Amino acid sequence: MSHIRRFAPVGITVAGLDTATAFFVGLGLDVEGRMFVEGEFVDIVIGVMLRPPEGGPGQELSSFVRPEHEPGSSTAMANELGLRNVAFEVDDLQATVDRLAADGYGLVGGIGQYENIWRMA
Task: Render pLDDT for 30-78 as a digit per residue (tens, 0 to 9).
Answer: 998 888 776 665 666 778 888 888 887 788 888 877 777 677 776 777 6
State how far the Cα of 109 lies from the Cα of 86, in Å rounded to an integer: 15
12 burial level (CB within 10 Å; 0-12, 13-18, 19+): middle
For residue 32, the number of C-alpha atoms closer than 13 Å in the C-beta half-sphere is 16
In this prediction the pTM is 0.71
State how far the Cα of 39 lies from the Cα of 57, in Å rounded to an integer: 26
